[in-house]
Structure 1
Amino acid sequence: MSLQIGDTAPDFEAETTHGPIKFHEWIGDGWAVFFSHPKDFTPVCTTELGYVAKLKPEFDRRNVKLIGLSVDPVENHAKWAVDIEETQGVAPNYPMIGDTDLRISKLYGMLPASASGDASARTPADNQTVRNVFVIGPDKKVKLLIVYPMTTGRNFDEVLRVIDSLQLTAKHKVATPVNWKQGEDVIISGSVSDEEAKKVYPDGWEAPRPYLRIVPQPR
């Protein structure tokens, strides 16, 4: 199974460091960032988990829940959290899923259906495709999917930026241009006619081309 943007995020039940969850129920009526890790006690992931913990207030402000996954058992996650706090200054303050039977990794297309064996015997290289970020909306649809290689740390500032764009464009008929940041000008969606746009933007817009209609970010 290969998930794409617009697909319904598969639901599942799992054990986490914060207790058992049913994924869709856990998300509720907000947003979620679900990010996976190939193995506990791996160096790049250690830095990522600590940084995400520091960013959690920013995700909270946007009504976004955070949840991680590793194929190792939950009790290992708790031990790893000690290392993360000692090396990164903060321990994970969000749930981490234990996916020891690889069920969720397969469900989300991060490992092939043929993957098997004892999770504890699998190496990071065996699980190197479990380096994904899924942003899931209140409708339980996948809004963003990014896959990173083992050697490149993920940019969670970029994930926040994309969430700002996703939430804005879900509410208003606009799109965000290259490198857009919160508060900057946006583009009127192509699906909106000039007649419709005049009702929303009576002061008009800047249009270097008829298809490129630039307006201040709606509030």
Structure 2
Amino acid sequence: MTTTEQPTPSDTDRALPLIGDPAPYFEADTTHGPVRLTDYAGQWLVLFSHPADFTPVCTTEFIAFTELADDFAARNVALLGNSVDSVHSHLAWTRSIEEKLGVRIPFPIVADLDTKVSRAYGMLHPNTSGTAAVRAVFVIDPEQTVRAVLYYPMNAGRMIPEILRLVDALQTSDRDGVSCPANWHPGEDVVVGAPKTQAELDARLADDSVKLADWYLATKPGTAS
């Protein structure tokens, strides 16, 4: 009986960082100088990749990130772009955006020529492209743990307000010990955890501070950030 030889996994086949994993460490050159993952300890980080400089959808995304950069900063969130282009390409591209569209990109962009960052974070998807990163987003918390992972195809731009909303939900959950329901926005009701014992169930049914849809589904007003 013959067997089929299994291919040897490559760097691009490695397991992707999962939610709850430590964020993979990196050191890299950027448009703002060298950076390390540990430079962001104590704050939130949105690390995102784009396929290439001087491309139309990526340009719209960078403008959209810039439009909300102050909102991210107000939440103690740093933005860090990444692609396999060089620093010189990044600088020429951002200069073009400023000259042609009047938008100055305020955050650094990693020049990942050796693809170390892209490979560590699973940003290269060989069936899409062997060299260009897909539109990946990693939300990393102040303890440098991966808290959320988003992937978009090359032909669909990201909704940047949704990434900001996701950060709001994570920070609200951490602060108040709650969850955030579908389509939630800051200031709206949040979900409280379901009872795990009969005593907790009895207490829940007697609690006038929550809104009960059923014994397992209850909400309460959200608190201001």
TM-score class, shorter = 0.7 to 0.9
Deviation at 1:202, TM superposition (A): 6.5
Structure-1-length-normalised TM-score: 0.86
CA RMSD, aligned part only? Answer: 2.2
**Residue from 92, 95, 104 that aligns with 2:117:** 104
Deviation at 1:63, TM superposition (A): 0.4
What residue in structure 2 maps to residue 7 of structure 1?
21
**Do 2:49 and 2:133's aligned partners in 1 also have CA atoms closer than 8 Å?**
no
What residue in structure 2 maps to residue 217 of structure 1?
222
Matches within 5 A, 1:1-219: 1=14, 2-24=16-38, 26-111=39-124, 125-190=129-194, 193=200, 203-219=208-224
- Gaps of at least 5 residues in structure 2 are 1-13
Structure-2-length-normalised TM-score: 0.84
Pick closer, same or farther for the CA change 1:191–1:34 going to 2, 3 Å.
farther
Q: In the aligned structure 1, how far is the partner of 2:65 from the partner of 2:31? A: 16
Q: In the aligned structure 1, how far is the partner of 2:223 from the partner of 2:153? A: 36
Report the count of equivalent residues: 206
**Do 1:47 and 1:88's aligned partners in 2 also have CA atoms closer than 8 Å?**
no
1:170 maps to a residue whose letter is D
Percent sequence identity over aligned pairs: 41
**Do 2:41 and 2:144's aligned partners in 1 also have CA atoms closer than 8 Å?**
no
Deviation at 1:50, TM superposition (A): 1.3
**Do 2:195 and 2:216's aligned partners in 1 also have CA atoms closer than 8 Å?**
no
Q: In the aligned structure 2, how far is the partner of 1:9 from the partner of 1:42? A: 28
Q: From the CA coordinates, give the structure whose radius of gyration is larger.
A: 2
Pick closer, same or farther for the CA change 1:19–1:195 going to 2, 3 Å.
farther
Pick closer, same or farther for the CA change 1:75–1:197 going to 2, 3 Å.
farther
Q: In the aligned structure 1, how far is the partner of 2:113 from the partner of 2:209? A: 56
**Do 1:133 and 1:147's aligned partners in 2 also have CA atoms closer than 8 Å?**
yes
Pick closer, same or farther for the CA change 1:196–1:64 going to 2, 3 Å.
farther
What residue in structure 1 maps to residue 11 of structure 2?
none
- Gaps of at least 5 residues in structure 1 are 116-123
Deviations 1:15-59 (A, max 9, x none): 0111111112x2120100000012111110011111111111000
Pick closer, same or farther for the CA change 1:63–1:191 going to 2, 3 Å.
farther
1:178 maps to a residue whose letter is A
Q: In the aligned structure 2, how far is the partner of 1:162 from the partner of 1:197? A: 28
Divergent runs of 4+, >4 A: 194-198
